């Protein structure tokens, strides 16, 4: 990879900054279940455990993690494409 490719625009959003583990994962999983395979969602999550661990949990669930960007306010935006069912 020579340079950062532009990230796709999300078709859905979810805010889980009010949730704590393991609900962060549960909320993200439920939201992804409502999407069609290939759809992209942007998830707003807190720094710390959620930012450290949620990307991996969603990868293990078979989704494609596209990007994790710092919002600069103690939260992150995680961009995920729903994997094949």
User: Which residues make up the interface to other proteins (CB under 8 A)?
Assistant: 1-5, 51-53, 55-56, 59-60, 64-70, 76
Catalytic residue selected from 7, 20, 21, 26 = 21
Catalytic site includes residue 31: no
Which is nearer to other proteins, 37 or 59 (by Cβ)?
59
Which is nearer to other proteins, 42 or 55 (by Cβ)?
55
Q: Are 16 and 44 in contact, with CB atoms under 8 Å apart?
A: yes
H helices of 1-85, in order, are 23-33, 49-60
d(C-alpha 67, C-alpha 57), whole Å: 14
């Amino acid at each position: 990879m020579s340079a950062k490719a532009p990230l796709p625009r999300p078709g859905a959003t979810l805010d889980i900054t009010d949730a704590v583990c393991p609900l962060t994962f549960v909320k993200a999983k439920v939201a992804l279940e409502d999407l069609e395979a290939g759809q992209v969602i942007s998830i707003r999550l807190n720094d710390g455990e959620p930012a450290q661990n949620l990307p991996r949990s969603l990868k293990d669930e078979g989704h494609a993690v596209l990007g994790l960007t710092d919002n600069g306010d103690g939260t992150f935006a995680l961009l995920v494409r729903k994997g094949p069912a």
